[in-house]
Amino acid sequence: MQLDHLGDFQRSHRNGELRLGDAGTTVRLLGWVRKVRDLGSLIFLDLRDRWGVVQLRLDTADADPVLLAKVRTLRSEFVIGAEGVVLERESKNPNLPTGDIEVRLSAVRVLNTALTPPIPVEDLEGNEANEDLRLKHRFLDLRRESLQKNLLLRSHAARVIREHFHEHEFIEFETPILTKSTPEGARDYLVPSRVHAGEFFALPQSPQLFKQLLQVSGFERYYQICRCFRDEDLRADRQPEFTQVDVEMSFVRQEDVQGVLEPLMVKLAKLVGKEVATPFPRLAYADAMEWYGSDKPDVRLATKIQDVTPAFAESGFNLFRAAAESGGQRRVRALFFEGEAAGALSRKQLDELGEVAKHLGAGGLPYVKWGKDGLSSSFKKFVEGEAEAALKAALGASGEGLAVFAVGTDAQTSKVLGELRLRLGRQFGLIDESRFAFLWVVDFPLLEWSEEHARFVACHHPFTAPHPDDLALLESDPGRCRAVAYDLVLNGYEVGGGSIRIHDAETQGRMFRALGIGEAEARAKFGFLLDALSYGAPPMGGLALGLDRLAMLLCGETSIREVIAFPKTAQARCLMTDAPSPVDDRQLKELHLLEEKAQTYRVGAVFFESAEGGNPTLRAEAVQHLSQMTPRQASGLVTLDDQGRILDAQTLNGPTFEF
RNA sequence: GGGGUUGUAGCUCAGUCGGUUAGAGUGCCAGCCUGUCACGCUGGAAGUCGCGGGUUCGAGCCCCGUCAACCCCGCCA
């Protein structure tokens, strides 16, 4: 099809901005054909651009035949320039901002055609293709209004963030993407060095150390919106590359950092019409685990986990009584959901919950239900009579409702009840989805024992300051030492995390020792940091926000892929570019990743000698190619293995023969 | 690394107990249509039932393997 040139055609208006007041004006518009509605002697076209949609009209009876023929060829997603007069519509469309007017076509330029899209581009209910197809054709998927809206909102959020930090005199920095691998934390993405055989850069898991060093340099307030990389398995709210809003400040306490972040959250919430009050609630990590079974509780749900161990001290139910007799090693913890809905849960639904509990490591799901037909329970004979009253008192239960129990160590019971709390809360409609519930979880433990590494590892990172009251515990009882670390939680998602840092070399050395990192290793891995801390490092602290998660929650989405233009799949693949992909052996050799076993020969006599034992067909082809080569090409290399077979035969064969 | 869900027309899905020629909606193509805007009406084309193997007289359906997407556990300082 013959395409028109853009030429001198210039847009006079954006499609979404035309109103009744523009009636009578001749306009020039650009965009994509969303839809053609051909009524016979009347043709309507919807023209879409970034800013909206407007209806174009052509009356076939009095139309220029050339224009009519051209318009009849238009299909969805064609790119056109349209010229015409704005007119008030005969029948208006109240669902469209431009619904009062239409543009009567006088000229059209077809700037490009389009194949029939493999996925729907129109953003209708139930019109969404499978995600793998959407990701493969992401450039089309991104034409959809909902994704355009999400990415626009993300852009607005980023702008608000930048403005906020600039208002507060933060300085924006760029830090290296090619940096040093660190022993702690997530797996690194590694980048081989061509110049230094056998050595590697790592992509940053975060700019943590650089932002601290910038404080040592005296910049006092740093921020950056930066990409971070972690080679770990994915989730709906986790990608291998993600964006952090990275913040660091000098001469601050935890409260100062929080004081800068809270008003920013208020502004961001306002972008989507949510009011949030400051200061945000502070919740100690220990309380979060005790009440919500999670270090990122969704506090829109009021239901809390309760300790009911004492209620079973005399019980005939051995499983629970044993826990009561374990001296605190094991406890019986419970969730109680009051109400008819909870009391009416069917046997099947309870079985399903039991499966969930098993999946999370519980043996099963003991429950007690007070419904229409009275009491039912998986351990009914132990909760009848006096025991029932005692249990109700312990749970604070009066009417109908459901109690579910978990028994075991705190870690075990928190995991099970933390998950069931959310699941049942959602099921019973106890969560106000319209709310934004921010809170700070504080007083995280500094270290936790890792069975895998048989040593303590940092809960946050190795540069987190120990709580001043717990400093002595660093050597005596590291597991009980608290950190000055804080997470910002929104609706059950960790949207940020930070800490006050260690700012003196001596404490940093103690921390490394507690982590089992020896003097020599600390020197090799973090020598520059220890040096920096020895030259007058200020007290400092900061935080990093997960911009993807934040954007996701602002957009009301449940996956960060909906707020990332080109996301990866759960298997860390890009379905559009097909990355990662194999690379040429030549690249691998250059990077010293593939051992150079093969011999290389100058083309010429040596080549023919070495090819003696080789494949005759390939050799013939090679000879053919060589005879056609210019001297310059022939001075290149041909690769043979030690049997004289041509390793690079494909290059000799292929259409892109290059030396 | 482990568990679960899904895979049938371009797209979204249905497909009964294993039984004749695998259907619907939508999109696409063609014709008709003067106020549509999820236009309407009529007709048409469109299938590697993810892939490989097995069971069976016979497999979209059952079994084994495998691939991919999604969700979860582990992991993610």
A221 touches strand B (CB under 7 A): no
A114 touches strand B (CB under 7 A): no
Strand partners, A38: A43
Distance from C-alpha of A621 to C-alpha of A78, rounded to nearest angstrom: 47
**Which of A 190-219 have CB under 7 A of nucleic chain B?**
205-206, 208
Name every residue whose Cβ is closer than 8 Å to that of residue A188 and which is 6 or more positions away in sequence: A181, A182, A202, A203, A205, A229, A230, A231
Q: Cα A343 to the chain's mean position, in Å?
A: 38
Our measurement of CA A128 to C1' B46, in angstroms, reads 21
Name every residue whose Cβ is closer than 8 Å to that of residue A411 and which is 6 or more positions away in sequence: none
Q: Tell me the three state secondary structure of residue A330.
A: coil
The model's pLDDT over A283-300, given as tens digits with 9 standing for 90+, comes to: 999 999 999 999 999 999
A41 touches strand B (CB under 7 A): yes
The nucleotide whose C1' lies nearest the CA of A206 is B77
Nearest-Å Rg of the Cα atoms of chain A is: 33
Q: Tell me the three state secondary structure of residue A60.
A: coil
Residue type, A189: Y
Lowest mean pLDDT among A481-495, A566-580, A621-635: A621-635
Residue nearest to nucleotide B32 (CA to C1'): A40
pTM: 0.89
Our measurement of CA A39 to C1' B34, in angstroms, reads 7
The model's pLDDT over A177-188, given as tens digits with 9 standing for 90+, comes to: 999 998 788 999
Strand partners, A440: A282, A488
Our measurement of CA A211 to C1' B77, in angstroms, reads 16
Token pair of A587, please? 């690249």
% of chain A residues with pLDDT over 70: 90
A185 touches strand B (CB under 7 A): yes
Our measurement of CA A189 to C1' B55, in angstroms, reads 47
A119 touches strand B (CB under 7 A): yes
| Element housing A55 (H / E) | strand A52-59
Residue (of A540, A495, A551, A544) closest to A280 by Cα position: A495
**Which of A 608-647 have CB under 7 A of nucleic chain B?**
none
Residue type, A650: Q
Report phi then psi at A521, rounded to 5.
-65, -45
The model's pLDDT over A132-162, given as tens digits with 9 standing for 90+, comes to: 999 999 999 999 999 999 999 999 999 999 9
Q: How confident is the model at residue A623 (pLDDT cuts 50, 70, 90)?
A: low
Residue nearest to nucleotide B1 (CA to C1'): A233
Strand partners, A57: A44, A104
Residue (of A394, A237, A184) closest to A306 by Cα position: A394
Is the Cβ–Cβ distance between A330 and A322 less than 8 Å? yes
| Element housing A521 (H / E) | helix A519-533
A55 touches strand B (CB under 7 A): yes
A91 touches strand B (CB under 7 A): yes
Q: Cα A613 to the chain's mean position, in Å?
A: 55
**Which of A 441-460 have CB under 7 A of nucleic chain B?**
452, 457-460
Distance from C-alpha of A257 to C-alpha of A250, rounded to nearest angstrom: 10
A432 touches strand B (CB under 7 A): no
Lowest mean pLDDT among A179-183, A307-311, A491-495, A613-617: A613-617
Our measurement of CA A36 to C1' B47, in angstroms, reads 29
A43 touches strand B (CB under 7 A): no
Cβ neighbourhood burial of A446 (10 Å; 0-12, 13-18, 19+): buried
Query: Within 13 A of A592's CA, how many CA atoms are on the CB side?
Result: 10
Q: Of all residues in chain A, what percent are helix, strand and coil, respectively (each to 5)?
A: 35, 25, 40
The nucleotide whose C1' lies nearest the CA of A90 is B35
Taking 60 as the threshold, does the pLDDT of residue A412 lie above it?
yes
**Which of A 21-40 have CB under 7 A of nucleic chain B?**
35, 37-40
Taking 50 as the threshold, does the pLDDT of residue A524 lie above it?
yes
- Using left for φ > 0, alpha for ψ between -120 and 50, and beta otherwise, residue A644 falls in left
ipTM: 0.94
**Which of A 342-381 have CB under 7 A of nucleic chain B?**
359-361
A180 touches strand B (CB under 7 A): no
Distance from C-alpha of A265 to C-alpha of A573, rounded to nearest angstrom: 32
- Triad A388, A392, A397: Cα angle to 5°: 145
DSSP A133-191: HHHHTHHHHTTSHHHHHHHHHHHHHHHHHHHHHHHTT-EE----SSB---SSSSPPPEE
Q: How confident is the model at residue A1 (pLDDT cuts 50, 70, 90)?
A: confident
Our measurement of CA A355 to C1' B63, in angstroms, reads 26
Cβ neighbourhood burial of A28 (10 Å; 0-12, 13-18, 19+): middle
CA dihedral A568, A570, A576, A582 (to 10 degrees): 90
A259 touches strand B (CB under 7 A): no
Distance from C-alpha of A589 to C-alpha of A611, rounded to nearest angstrom: 22
% of chain A residues with pLDDT over 90: 82
Q: What is the pLDDT of residue A459?
A: 94
Q: What nucleotides of chain B have any atom within 7 angstroms of a protein Cβ?
A: 1, 3, 10-13, 27-29, 32-40, 68-77
Distance from C-alpha of A66 to C-alpha of A69, rounded to nearest angstrom: 5
Length of chain A: 659
A462 touches strand B (CB under 7 A): yes
| Element housing A351 (H / E) | helix A347-359
A296 touches strand B (CB under 7 A): no
Residue nearest to nucleotide B40 (CA to C1'): A39
Q: Tell me the three state secondary structure of residue A380.
A: helix
**Which of A 546-575 have CB under 7 A of nucleic chain B?**
559, 561, 569-571, 573, 575
Q: How confident is the model at residue A408 (pLDDT cuts 50, 70, 90)?
A: very high
Lowest mean pLDDT among A26-35, A81-90, A304-313, A518-527: A518-527
Is the Cβ–Cβ distance between A553 and A489 less than 8 Å? no
Q: Tell me the three state secondary structure of residue A574.
A: strand
